[in-house]
Structure 1
Amino acid sequence: MEQLYNSPKYKEAKTSRGYTYRYYFTKPAVSSKPTLLFVHGFPSYSAHWIHQIAFFEAEGFGLVVPDMLGYGGTSVPTQVEAFGHSLQAKDLVEILDAEDLKSNVIAIGHDWGSITVSRLANLYQDRFLGFVFIAVGYAAPNTSFSYEQIKAAWNQVAGYESIGYWSFFSSPEAEGLIKKHAKSFSDILWAKDPAAYKWAFCPSGSLQKFLETDSSVPRATYISNEDIKATEEIHFKKGFSGPLAYYKLETSGLGLEDSKSIPVENYTIAKPVLFIAAAQDAVAIPVLMEQSLHKYCTNSSQKTVVTGHWAFLEAADEVNSLIHDWAKKL
């Protein structure tokens, strides 16, 4: 990942909001091939899409793979509301404009990146051939339900607190504890057993306790220790204020305000949608992630991979094939 991240194929673009985005870019090998826009989530960065970049570039697709706001080589706003997903969607469209990509683009998101891709679908649907959601599904704008209300509703389905950790990530202590206990944080983030999230990550207070006690669990093998170290260096060099802002946006209610800017008629997505569910994901539980998909996406298909949250790393070949096979039919 470190070698990829130093590639000369990286570029920078400044948006009308004044933020600079760093992104990996290649043109399609032939003009008929689509360009794929990959949008990462927390706590990731563009090089985590390494397997997708290698595969789809070899297949002749164009690629736009940004460090999202607050990550890597991209700007870090100081105001939480600047991280609004509709605002970031506008930023991404401006990057596409800078590369003269007015059409023939597929947007692909994971984690919080799926929320930003949802806003691309809500606000700029005509610019895209279709949309792919990995682990986290299409999310219609939420204009009324607070974090506490969502947490309680999801608890009823999951049988445990699946997003209790959002309150810790929104706290003043989070950034310092993550940095101080980096090994423990990486251990649980990249846990070999996805079920470890259910007791050491998701429930309220569990992640903070895991860090403060320097706890550990076996790490997954789908990401190397070298790549984890490179990820840590990228994040700690810049600090975690940007990545954590995505949670503060939701727990503060500022995300509700961002969603209110989207017309209700835009909630329905007519363009083709592919949702790749992660069967063992303890955070983005498939039965919850399907709800907006079934209600609002009129031309959707769903596939499932037997992985935890990091499906595009853990089952890279399978995920790549699913996206490729679906994209060929567009």
Structure 2
Amino acid sequence: MPDFREIALPDVTLRVAVEGEGPLVLMVHGFPESWYSWRHQMAPIAGAGFTAAALDVRGYGGSSRPGAVEAYDMEHLVADVAGVIEQLSPDAPAVLIGHDWGAPIVWNTALIRPDRVRAVAGLSVPYLGVPKRSFMDLVDTVFTSRGKFFYQAWFQDVGPPEAELEADPRDGLRKFYYAISGDAPDGTWPSDKVHGQSLLEGLVDPDPFPAWLTDGDLDYYVAEFERSGFFGPISRYRNHQRDFEYLSQFEGRKIEQPSLFIGGERDLVLSMLGRGDLVALMKAEMTDLRGADVLPGCGHWTQQERPTEVNARLLPWLASL
């Protein structure tokens, strides 16, 4: 295990795993994950001459768990990342790497706090610019208004989503992790669910689980969620309108730092809403995009499913900065 540091910020304390010495590389996880999602990246990045750091996002693991939904909006999360950089690297900006929700967090931190970010990489979720409409408006158009299930719509009401996942975190994590992994056959994520059904309805529990997530790995995640619960993690999805209103002030601004994108060919994020030519869309919003790779056969859990391939792209990019 790396060293753990407690970073005290104005309204929360964040746990950050730290390994190595050198320029700061700060990694930000997504849902439902942990600093531990970066376990395969910590030592290689530290070995390349950097301080490798991975935080528990507020609401997760060893970090503070505010009780208000609005405490999990993008404005707070950008401030968290900038605050961690200020304490771990007060004299120099950091490189940011994010996955899933961590990707929008680091993209937006690079956009909003360029003074603290020297380069940025996102895994799974591409950067498509300052939003023109609330994401939930799009969800309503594509899914809810047609009576179709979409997991982020299910997450909007406080209570039932938390209760479902907290009833048996091991069962819920196994099913959710598997359903959107590259190992799951087409159709594992049900396409025929209707609005009002729950997240786990229709999902299968594989036996055995794919080798990229061991029993020990799952034990770690389960223990983290047994102590943190799921209110904070799910509340990130309840801030789409608030995020839209906050980010609108940055319309016209682009990410100018060196950037990198790594996705998975079988990641539903890249297909569920239809996105067209992702590279062209990203290049329009990032002036120094140095790579955009989609890994064949890889699902949503990019750096866990394909650590060797991800590291083979991250390390040369870091060395080029």
Q: TM-score range by the shorter chain?
A: 0.7 to 0.9
Question: Where does residue 176 of structure 1 map in the other structure?
Answer: 163
**Is the CA contact (8 Å cut-off) linking 1:122 and 1:269 kept in structure 2?**
yes
Question: Where does residue 39 of structure 1 map in the other structure?
Answer: 28
The answer as to 2:249 corresponding to 1:255 is no
State how 1:163-312 maps to structure 2 within 5 Å: 164-171=150-157, 172-191=159-178, 192-193=183-184, 195-199=186-190, 204=195, 205=197, 207-210=199-202, 215-218=204-207, 219-250=209-240, 253-260=241-248, 262-266=249-253, 268-285=254-271, 288=275, 290=279, 292-300=281-289, 301-306=291-296, 307-312=298-303
Query: Comparing 133-142 with 72-81, which one deviates more in the overlay?
Result: 133-142
2:5 corresponds, among 8, 11, 15, to 11
Q: Extract unaligned runs of 5+ from structure 2.
A: none
Residue identity over aligned pairs, in percent, reads 23
Q: Given the superposition, is the C-alpha separation of residues 139 and 90 from structure 1 closer, same or farther in structure 2, using an over 3 Å criterion?
A: farther
Whole-angstrom distance in 1 between the partners of 2:101 and 2:226: 20
Q: Deviations over 1:235-278 (max 9, x none)?
A: 1212110111011112xx22223323x42233x11211101011
The answer as to 2:48 corresponding to 1:59 is yes
SS at match of 1:199: coil
Whole-angstrom distance in 2 between the partners of 1:128 and 1:256: 22
Work out the number of aligned pairs and report it: 307
1:265 counterpart letter in structure 2: G
1:169 counterpart letter in structure 2: F
**Is the CA contact (8 Å cut-off) linking 1:143 and 1:257 kept in structure 2?**
no
Q: Deviations over 1:19-46 (max 9, x none)?
A: 1001012452xxxx53211000101111
Q: Extract unaligned runs of 5+ from structure 1.
A: 156-160
Runs of 4+ in 1 over 6 A off after TM superposition: 200-203
Whole-angstrom distance in 2 between the partners of 1:51 and 1:183: 22
TM-score, L = length of structure 2: 0.86
TM-score, L = length of structure 1: 0.84
Cα distance, 1:91 vs. partner?
1.7
Whole-angstrom distance in 2 between the partners of 1:201 and 1:59: 47
Question: Where does residue 320 of structure 1 map in the other structure?
Answer: 311
Cα distance, 1:69 vs. partner?
0.9
Query: Comparing 91-100 with 71-80, which one deviates more in the overlay?
Result: 91-100
**Is the CA contact (8 Å cut-off) linking 1:36 and 1:61 kept in structure 2?**
yes
Q: Given the superposition, is the C-alpha separation of residues 206 and 99 from structure 1 closer, same or farther in structure 2, using an over 3 Å criterion?
A: closer
Question: Where does residue 158 of structure 1 map in the other structure?
Answer: none
Q: Deviations over 1:269-324 (max 9, x none)?
A: 12111010111101343963657513211211211212000010111011011011
Whole-angstrom distance in 1 between the partners of 2:185 and 2:9: 37
Question: Where does residue 127 of structure 1 map in the other structure?
Answer: 116
State how 1:81-120 maps to structure 2 within 5 Å: 81-120=70-109
1:325 counterpart letter in structure 2: P
